[in-house]
A and B are shown apart, each in its own frame.
Chain A
Amino acid sequence: MNNLFIYIELQDNGRVAEVSLELLSKGRSLADELDCQLEAVAIGTRLDGVAAQVMPYGVDVLHLFDDERLYPYTTIPHAAILTKLFEEEKPQIALLGATAIGRELGPRVSATLHGGLTADCTALSIGDYTDEQTGRHYENILLQTLPSFGGNVVATIVNPEHRPQMATVREGVMRKELRDTNYQGKIIRHDTKNYVTDTDFVIKIIERHIEHAKHNLKGASIVVAGGYGIGSRENFNLLFDLAKELHGEVGASRAAVDAGFVDHDRMIGQTGLTVRPKLYIACGISGQIQHTIGMQDSATIISINTDPNAPINAIADYVIIGRVEEVIPKMIKGYKSLGK
């Protein structure tokens, strides 16, 4: 009872999603701090391979709900299972990936349980809170931190009165960390019939196309990223040229994506990808917190910007003041001259 729960997201090949493993890692350390157990919930079909994938992260209890109809995911059956399980188990904290699934499943569960839910957290920790209006003091609750409103501030949100305290987190924000390769938690195979009814399966999936990622931005050791300052889709080709030369990948800020310069799946930042490459070349990116939070852990950062006062320059190791159209060809030329 009152443990920390992680919703395990499954992919078509039966693999557990990276974000779920990252959340298990974070969940394990939070559970240690709270002196409670870490529990995981996997809902789908043919779940035999799940335990071996999640146990090394320190899962104390794995709940399995196996039914052919539960994969591919549809909202209502998964929400019904989580809701009933949470009513029975009364978790103090429940975390989901901020994925297409987590971002619609979390709200449905929270609406029924009347729990607070915070989207796209960038840090989670345990701490205390005093409600200034009621004077009540709460100990060991989940502090959910995220940049807020135009990136002007970082807000910390709490759910003092209601349980579970729920939050979603994007992939790549938390670090994956194995606990013990021999860790053996308990496995509970639930009878799905006690949790869902036939009428829950109202959404029919007629077609489903999964596209394989067109790039490996997450794993790239060099990222060339462009912002609104790039100016056009055509100008982004320069970034692709440089990335190709350096064997890197192209990323973008939210502003560049919104302007239509580059596809949404290349967005880096709070509501996009988090990357930690060896080299991050920020081209025409001003450096709003929502962007920098997704790249600030890069080993080396170069900023190319016409504005000497762009906020990104403050976190850059190298700052090149100039126009991207002029600088990038020089970089390509310089790199080629190294004969690599």
Chain B
Amino acid sequence: MSLNIIVLAKQVPDTRCVSQGAMNADGTINRAALPVIVNPDDMKALEQALRLKEQYPGTTIQVLTMGPARAAEVVREGLFRGADGGYLLSDCAFAGADTLATSYALATAIGKMGRHDIVLCGRQAIDGETAQVGPQVAERLGIPQISYAEEILGVSDGHITAKRRIDNGIEIVEAPLPVVITVDGAAAPCRPRHAKLLMSHKQTQITTWNTADIGADPAQCGLAGSPTRIKSVECIVPCTKESRVIDCNDEDIANLMKELGA
């Protein structure tokens, strides 16, 4: 049994190294000022896809991403590890999208990519952390979802079984294909790049699609298609207390404990 898998992956600023100039005056992110990585949860989704490909020969993996031209690297990172191909959605009309407009663009592109059995993506991206795009893509495609999956246990008879994390516990669930699966941070880390694939795909051109290529309605894309607006962005002025500095010696700390205990 072969599967057609699509992995949704996002290029994100590495929020662990936020520097000056990271924010524009209007409150949007100055992405150009930040180092970028493939969103960590999305890499874990890719790993689940690669494992399915090993388990079910004939399986194909396509990586789909949206972003500026340099986001093509996301697809290439997939190719370096064993994905079969992929597409970059890039168009000014996609810019400024909130999760709803993002899910519209992704779902429309998925529709164009043809038969898909499993759409895998990370649970959430480290820049927005909304965890909304996966479920919204599923809703737009009209298919079920398994959120926060830690491990895919197997596929048989058109059904997939996965272990998923819920609040204070786990569930093992079965869903019919096609399905969207969002992969939790607790899932297995992604394998490193494969040396041979790295060599052969270094120069591989990544197909870029714009709104017209996927037949998307520009009114539903980007800022135009986003119901949310940023009202204001304020720099944080932390409330400060008058704090007492305690020296790091036995006596002063003992006195502090006494004071607190009183």
Stretch at the interface among B63-71, B109-117, B171-179: B171-179
Q: From A128, which residue of chain B is reached at the shortest CB distance?
A: B231
- Which of the residues B127, B172, B244 comes within 8 Å of A207, measured between beta carbons? B172
Q: Could you say which of A271, A313, A334 contacts B254, with CB atoms under 8 Å apart? A: A334
Interface string of B105-146 (1 = CB under 8 A from A): 000000000000000000000011111111110111000111
Taking the nearest CB of chain B, how far is it from the CB of A274, in angstroms?
A: 15
Instruction: Tell whether, in the assembled complex, residue A203 and residue B173 are in contact, meaning their CB atoms are under 8 Å apart.
Output: yes
Listed stretches A57-65, A85-93, A106-114; interface member: A106-114
Contact code string B221-262 (vs A, CB < 8 Å = 1, else 0): 000001111111111101111011111111001111110110
What separation, in Å, do the CA atoms of A290 and B98 have in the docked complex?
21
Query: Given A156-B231, A158-B229, does the pair A106, B256 have CB atoms closer than 8 Å?
Result: no
Contact between chains at B236 and A317 (CB < 8 Å): no
- CB-CB under 8 A from A52, the residues of chain B are none
Q: Which of A23-31, A178-186, A187-195, A321-329 contacts B (4 or more CB under 8 A)?
A: A321-329
**A327 near B243: Cβ-Cβ < 8 Å:** no
Identify the closest chain B residue to A105 (Cβ): B135
Closest beta carbon of chain A to B116's beta carbon, Å: 17
- Docked complex Cα distance between A334 and B252 (Å): 9
Q: Give the distance in Å from the alpha carbon of A333 to the alpha carbon of B135 in the complex.
A: 52
Q: Please, could you name 12 A-B residue pairs with CB atoms under 8 Å apart, sorted by A?
A: A110-B100, A117-B132, A119-B129, A120-B130, A153-B234, A155-B233, A210-B168, A211-B169, A213-B168, A315-B239, A317-B243, A327-B253
A110 CB to nearest B CB, Å: 6
* A160 at interface by CB-CB < 8 Å: yes
B87 contacts the other chain (CB 8 A)? no
Q: How far apart are the CA atoms of A298 and B148 in the complex, in Å? A: 31
B41-70 residues at the A interface, CB under 8 angstroms: none
- The answer for the CA separation of A157 and B169 in the assembled complex, in Å, is 32
Query: In the bound complex, do residue B248 and residue A155 qualify as a contact, i.e. CB atoms below 8 Å apart?
Result: no
Closest 10 CB pairs of A and B: A322-B248, A334-B254, A116-B227, A150-B18, A107-B135, A116-B228, A111-B139, A334-B257, A107-B132, A210-B169
Shortest CB distance B225–A (Å): 9
Beta-carbon contacts under 8 Å, A69-117 to B: 72, 74-76, 79, 99-101, 103-108, 110-112, 114-117
Known pairs A79-B139, A331-B257; A158 contacts B236 (CB<8 A): no
A114 to B98, CA, bound (A): 12
* B208 close to chain A: CB less than 8 A: no
Q: Kindly list chain B residues whose C-beta atoms are within 8 Å of the C-beta of A110.
A: 100, 132, 136
User: Does A262 sit within 8 A of B, measured CB to CB?
Assistant: no
**Which residues of chain B are near A314, meaning CB under 8 Å?**
238-241, 243
User: A311: nearest residue on chain B (CB-CB)?
Assistant: B238
Whether A107 touches B243, Cβ cut-off 8 Å, given contacts A320-B248, A330-B253, is no
Residue contact B129 to A120, C-beta cutoff 8 Å: yes
Chain B residues with CB under 8 A of A296: 239
CB-nearest residue of chain A relative to B133? A107
Give the contact-size bracket for chain B. 35 or more
B36: Cβ under 8 A from any A Cβ: no
Report how far A119 CA is from B236 CA in the complex, Å.
20
Q: What residues on A are CB-neighbors of B182 within 8 Å?
A: 104
> Is B195 at the interface (CB under 8 A from chain A)?
no
Distance of A158 Cα from B231 Cα, bound (Å):
6
A117 CB to nearest chain B CB (Å)? 6
A147 located at the interface, meaning its Cβ lies under 8 Å from any Cβ of chain B in the complex: yes
Is there an interface contact between A318 and B240, defined as CB atoms closer than 8 Å?
no
Q: Which residues of A contact B260 (CB under 8 A)?
A: 279, 300
Closest to B176 in A: A202
4 other contacts beyond A208-B169, A209-B169, A271-B129, with CB at 8 A cut-off? A104-B148, A131-B229, A204-B173, A330-B253
B27 within 8 A of A: yes
Tell me if A316 is interfacial: C-beta within 8 Å of chain B. yes
Alpha-carbon distance between A264 and B230 when the two chains are bound, in angstroms: 30
Residues of B within 8 A of A211 (CB): 168-169
Known contacts A117-B99, A338-B258: does B22 contact A149 (CB below 8 Å)? yes
Given the interface pairs A318-B243, A318-B246, A335-B261, the reply to whether A111 lies near B229 with Cβ below 8 Å is no
Question: Which residues of A have CB within 8 Å of B139?
Answer: 79, 107-108, 111-112
Taken residue by residue from 301 to 317, chain A's Cβ proximity to chain B (1 for < 8 Å, 0 otherwise) reads as 11100000001011111
**Least Cβ–Cβ distance between A229 and chain B, in angstroms:** 15
A14 within 8 A of B: no
**Bound state CA distance, A311 and B240, in angstroms?**
10
Establish whether residues B228 and A118, one from each chain, have CB atoms under 8 Å apart when the complex forms. Answer: yes
Give residues 141-186 of B contacting A (CB, 8 Å).
Answer: 144-148, 161, 165-176, 182, 185-186
Contact of B244 among A118, A148, A279, A318 (CB under 8 A): A318
CA of A301 to CA of B256, assembled, Å: 12
Contact call B232/A334, Cβ cutoff below 8 A: no
Q: Is the Cβ of A159 less than 8 Å from the Cβ of B228?
A: yes
User: In this assembly, does B29 line the interface, its C-beta being within 8 Å of a C-beta of chain A?
Assistant: yes
Q: Does B15 contact A (CB under 8 A)?
A: yes
